[in-house]
Amino acid sequence: MFEAAELGRTFSVQDYREEVPLLREQLLQLQDELRDANFSVIILFHGVDGAGKGETVNLLNAWMDPRGIVTRAFGNPSDEEQERPEFWRFWRELPPKGRIALFLSSWYSRPILDRVYNLAETATFDRRLNRILAFERMLVEDGTLLIKCWMHLGKKAQKGRLKSLEKDPLTRWRITQTDWKHFNLYDRFIDASEHALHKTATGETPWTIIEGYDSNYREITVGRTVRDAIRRHLEQSKQRDWQAQSTPTQGFISIRAGNNASRTVLSHLDMSLTTDNREDYKEHLEQLQGKLNLLFRRAKQQRYSLVVVFEGWDAAGKGGTIRRVTAALDARDYQVISIAAPTDEERAHHYLWRFWRYLPRTGRVTIFDRSWYGRVLVERIEGFTPESTWMRAYSEITDFEEQLYEHNILVVKFWLHITQEEQLRRFEERKTTPYKHYKLTEEDWRNREKWDLYDFSVNDMVERTSTRFARWTLIEANDKRYARIRVLKTLCDRLETVVTA
């Protein structure tokens, strides 16, 4: 795979001097067009030490307008990063639309090095590469242009380069013990890297292997690669936007053509379920809150954390239920995130970005009052998002939740279900009770008219995203007290499955 990058390619000084001004002009022009484009650019630099990764990053900052460029180098994760799933640190640094990010040692570094140092089995290595594939596909499908550069040097060339850097007092600092340690593992490193590149070079996210031997050659090649990729992506993106405009979003029904079933997961619920008398409820509630508290503190000690998602009909009682849950927790341990319209920073990123932001640290709880499922509910139903986009959200979501699960973040998801009659009763009550009035909006009435569409969408959602690691629990919530008890009980049950006594 790397043979073609060990040919000692060079680029003459004269040609270099001729090409650079033109290349810079083109890059700047493209960067200017990019500013208003609907996508971001991420350029990864990986490769052999001494092949000029850092220099290339400095170079691109010099050639282009640094105001549109973000440079990040991912070293050892901080404790805040370690307390989240591995990809959290990458999510937090993803560039907004219209910007370019240059990433040194990104998501490939740890998997490759762990393999080189024998800290990970081949199977683990492959699993991590699959995760990378899914992550990159998700970015690309969101419109991101991902350019992956592998800066290469043959073994001899690397040795020569390290030595010459070491000899020069001005560059000596660049060479550390680690570099020589890596050099001694050159062959292992190349093996693991080749495997990684091989597995992750897809049609949409190919690797560009760049020989790092001659700096003129390297710089021109990187410059051209970046130029051509951005140019092509800008053109394609205009086409894509044009296509999206000329194919109006289909609205809901099309994707459920021929559907003859009014039977959904919701229609199967027994909506007559209630608690017994009021006194029992109070006692039962307090008992469960005490139990939840105990279990969560134990989970905390065992370094678990908790993500709780509440979805449900308007007026299904999410707020009241959340308060019964938080009452059982220490105010220092939880945050409730209510999902409304995104901020402009959020809008300039992948739609999952705003949820990654709020993932709990180890031993903490984040409760989402509405969540990423808006993508496959309101956005689908209102036609805010094209079908292909919300269709792929199901797997993006399950990937996301799997990452939480693997990081010992327990994901518990509730759909609070009420009947149409009960909803009407509650709307009327909200109209007349002054301190509940604020809860009722025009939108609630509009949503109500789309009951059946929601019903189907919820069915699809449960079908496609109820997984072993993040099961949905549907709650019969016509009786609020019953619903609260069920939610608390479910939380206790789920905690009990992971917490050891």
Is there binding between residue 253 and a second copy (CB under 8 A)? no
Q: How many CA atoms lie within 13 A of 353 on its CB side?
A: 21
Q: Is 236 in the site for a second copy (CB under 8 A)?
A: no
Site string for a second copy, 171-210 (x = CB under 8 A): --xx------------------------------------
Nearer to a second copy, 101 or 132 (CB): 101
**C-beta of 266 vs 322, nearer to a second copy:** 322
Q: Is 263 in the site for a second copy (CB under 8 A)?
A: no
- Whole-angstrom distance, CA of residue 481 vs CA of residue 421: 18
Q: In the set 271, 273, 294, 378, which binds a second copy (CB under 8 A)?
A: 294
**Residue 326 sits in the site that holds a second copy (CB under 8 A):** yes
323 binds a second copy (CB under 8 A): yes
Establish if 58 lies at the interface with a second copy (CB under 8 A): yes
Q: Given the complex with a second copy, which of 78 and 259 has the nearer CB atom?
A: 78
> Are 9 and 211 within 8 A, CB to CB?
yes
Which residues, including other chains, have CB under 8 Å from residue 166's CB and lie 6 or more apart? 172, 175
CA 111, 398, 136, 103 dihedral sign is: negative
Q: Which of 3, 340, 468, 497 lies at the binding interface for a second copy (CB under 8 A)?
A: 340
Indicate the angle between helix axes 186-200 and 109-116, nearest 10 degrees: 140
Name the minimum Å distance from CB 213 to a second copy: 20
Round to whole Å and give the CA distance between 307 and 368.
Answer: 8
> What distance in Å separates the CA atoms of residue 480 and residue 316, rounded to the nearest whole number?
8
Q: Considering only residues 115 through 174, tell me which ones interact with a second copy, judged by CB under 8 A.
A: 169-170, 173-174
Segment interacting with a second copy (CB under 8 A) among 156-164, 215-223, 293-301, 401-409: 293-301
Burial 297-307 (b: 16+ CB within 10 A, else e): ebbbeeebbbb
Q: Copy the structure tokens of residue 278.
A: 């009021």
AA letter at 394: Y
Q: How far is the CB of 394 from a second copy (least distance, A)?
A: 27
**47 phi and psi angles, rounded to 5 deg:** 140, -165
Q: How far is CA 174 from the centre of its chain?
A: 34
The answer to whether 221 touches 45, Cβ cutoff 8 Å, is no
Residue 132 and residue 108: Cα distance in Å, rounded?
Answer: 8
Binding segment toward a second copy, per CB under 8 A, in 65-73, 158-166, 272-280, 420-428: 65-73
- Contact between 234 and a second copy by CB under 8 A: the answer reads no
What is the pattern of x (binds a second copy, CB under 8 A) and - over residues 68-87?
Answer: -xxxxx-x--xxx-------
Please select the residue that binds a second copy; options are 330, 406, 452, 493, rule is CB under 8 A: 330
Indicate left, alpha or beta for 47 from its phi (over 0: left) and psi (-120 to 50: alpha): left
Closest approach, Cβ 298 to a second copy, in A, equals 10
Binding-site size for a second copy (CB under 8 A) equals 62
75 burial type by CB count under 10 A (0-12 exposed, 13-18 middle, 19+ buried)? exposed
Nearest approach, Cβ of residue 71 and a second copy (Å): 6
* Site for a second copy contains 268 (CB under 8 A): no
Task: Give the burial class of 266: count Cβ atoms within 10 A of its Cβ; 0-12 exposed, 13-18 middle, 19 or more buried.
Answer: buried
Q: How far apart are CA 52 and CA 54, in angstroms?
A: 6
Asked if residue 333 binds a second copy (CB under 8 A), the reply is yes
Residues 414-453, mask of contacts with a second copy (x by CB under 8 A): --------------------xx-xxx--------------
Residues near a second copy, by CB under 8 A: 21, 24-25, 28-29, 31-32, 53-54, 57-58, 61-62, 65-67, 69-73, 75, 78-80, 104-105, 169-170, 173-174, 286-287, 289-290, 293-294, 297, 319, 322-323, 326-327, 330-336, 338, 340, 343-345, 361, 369, 434-435, 437-439
